[in-house]
Amino acid sequence: MPVTDVSSRSIPELMSLADRVAVVTGGARGIGAAICHRFAEAGALVVVADLDEGLAKSVADSIHDAHGHGAVGVGVDVADEEEIDLLGDRALSEFGRLDIWVNNAGIYPSTPLLDMTAAEWDRVLDVNLRGTFLGSRAAARRMVASSTPGVIINIGSTAGYRAAGPGIAHYVSSKHAVRGLTKALAVELGPSGVRALAISPTLIETPGIEAGRAAFEAAGLGDLLGSMAEQAPLRRNGVADDVARVALFCASDLSILMSGSTLAVDAGSLAM
C-alpha cells in the first residue's frame, strides 16, 4: 500500500486525529492517561484500557467532559490473550474502526539479580513484552483486515538502550526486546500500510515512580532517580505530557513516512 503524499495539507490538518479511533493500554494513569487526553484533544475517539477498570472509566468520563466526544473505559490484563482480543473487538463495536493502538502498559519492579525469582522475571516479561506483542497482533489483524493504514505505538524506555541501574534486569531485557519487536512489525506490516513506532522515555515523574524511588533508597543507593535528572544534558526528568506530545506526533500524519524507528524522549541522556 503506497504512502499518501500529504504535502498539501496544513499543519492543523496533519495533526488532526478527527474520526480516528485509538486504543491506549495502561491508559488510566501517568503516561497513558496523558496520551489519551492529547489524542482526544486532537479529535480521536479513545478506548482507555487498564487493569483498573474503574479508573479507566473515570479517565474516559474526564475525556468526555473535557473534549465533548466519545471515550470508553475498559478493564484489561495486557498479558491475557483473550482479553486483548476482546479489547480489539470492543474498539470496533464501540466506534466501528481501529486506527491507532498504543502499547503503554508496563511495570517497573526492582529486585537485585541474585534475589530475583523466575516468577518475578516472567511477570515483567509477560506485561512489558508479551503484552506489547499481543496488543500489536490484535491491532494489526484488525487494521489489515479492514485495509486501515493504522499505526502501532510501543512505549519503551531509555533502558532499552542500556542498563539503567541495578535491580531491573527483567525490565531492561523487556525494553530492549520492545525495540526489536517494533522493527519487526514495521518490516512485516509496512506493505499493508500499517506503521510501527516506539517511544523511549527517560525517567518520567509520575505517581507510580515513587515506588521505584523508595526501592533504590532502601537499597542504599540514595536518590538515584534524582541524580538522573542532574546528569542529563537538559537537567531534568520528564513529565507525562512530554511523552504524550511525541505519541501524538507518531499517531498523526506528521509522521506518515516513519516506521520502525524509536524516538527518544530522554532529555539528551542517550547522547552521553
What gap in Å lies between CA 52 and CA 60, rounded to an integer?
12
| DSSP code string of 99-113 | -EEEE---------G
**What cell was used for 120?**
518475578
| Adjacency order of strands within the sheet including 151-155 | 71-75, 45-50, 21-25, 100-103, 151-155, 195-201, 262-265
Residues near 2 by beta carbon (within 8 Å), at least 6 away in sequence: none
Element (H, E) at 53: helix 53-67
Q: Helix or strand or coil: residue 73?
A: strand
**What cell was used for 129?**
513484552
8 Å CB contact between 238 and 201: yes
> How distant is the alpha carbon of residue 171 from its chain centre?
15
Helix spans in 157-254 (H): 169-189, 209-218, 224-231, 240-251
**The one catalytic residue among 171, 186, 225, 263:** 171
- Whether 171 is catalytic is yes
Question: Rg of the chain's alpha carbons, rounded to an integer?
Answer: 18
As annotated, the active-site residues are 171
